[in-house]
Amino acid sequence: MTRMIIAGAQLGAIQKSDSREVVVARMVDLMEQAAAKGAQMIVYPELALTTFFPRWYMPDWNEVDTWFEREMPNGATMPLFDRARELGMAMTFGYAELTPEGRRFNTSILTNRKGEIVGKYRKVHLPGHVEYDTERAFQHLEKRYFEPGDLGFNVWRNEGAIMGMAICNDRRWPETYRCMGLQGVELITIGYNTPSVNSQMSAEGLEKRLFHSDLSLQSGAYQNATYVVGVAKAGVEDGHPLMGGSIIVDPDGFVLARAETEEDELIFADCDFAKCAFGKSTIFDFARHRRVEHYGRITSQTGAVIAV
């Protein structure tokens, strides 16, 4: 398959009191709507099964672990996998993963159209902080509750295309896309939960945050000649607003579809993966044009070293 109709399944707010079963029922409903319109793959957001719990400081790790999944699929999510199999729908969604060894990751999985998991990604670029921050308007404790991902930026051949995943803050880092671009990626799916206001700069509101999200997704798509599907969890969760702005971007960086609400909403694009070939064989023909002898600083250094 070189062509696929992809649905981006934006989710509206998930409240702290909403059970996994309630959320999965919403996800199944969106999947059925997408299938009725011919979609063959559906993309859900980061932490799709729960509210964005890193906004709360929790000193009790037993409480923290109630937000994590110990296996996937599990009893609560099996209806989603079963329906995907019945409809012949590939999917990807994010969740909080607790491993048998007690490690915690912000994770997403990718399935084929048989409902089989073919890929797993763990978020690499964790934003936020570890301890309660009195200087912030609200907390963002991903560094407290998750380890940085340990699986790298892999791609998988799935349903006739080369697919990769990233999560939320990863979309702002060009290295994310380039690592997958160097593996010939043709589709990158990125779920996110992004507050509508910057917790450290209240003047930075929705307009600027949507612009930066678009800029990151569009540039990543263009510079690596790949489709990018960015899907939000949006709306007001227990008084905390998350922005929408889900989009599907083509390999030239143009937006093919855009969400208009902050509710449960589907967006669609007919993705012809053959269109990735032109950019990959011309301006972004890496084999001909990259000059790795000059890129050593990128992997040898983390923080900026200011020129004297």
The residues assigned a catalytic role are 46, 123, 168
C-alpha 14, offset from chain centre: 17
**Hey, how many other C-beta atoms are within 10 angstroms of the C-beta on 184?**
16
Paired residues of 95 in beta bridges: 107
What is the Rg, in whole angstroms, of the alpha carbon atoms belonging to the chain? 19
Burial of 93 (0-12, 13-18, 19+ CB in 10 A): buried
How open is the CA angle 132-136-138, to the nearest 5 degrees?
80
Before 45, cis peptide (omega within 30)?
A: no
Are 16 and 51 within 8 A, CB to CB?
A: yes
Cβ(169)–Cβ(175) under 8 Å? no
- In angstroms, the CA 101 to CA 84 distance is 30
- Token pair belonging to 62: 């037993």
Pairing of strands 104-111, 90-98: antiparallel
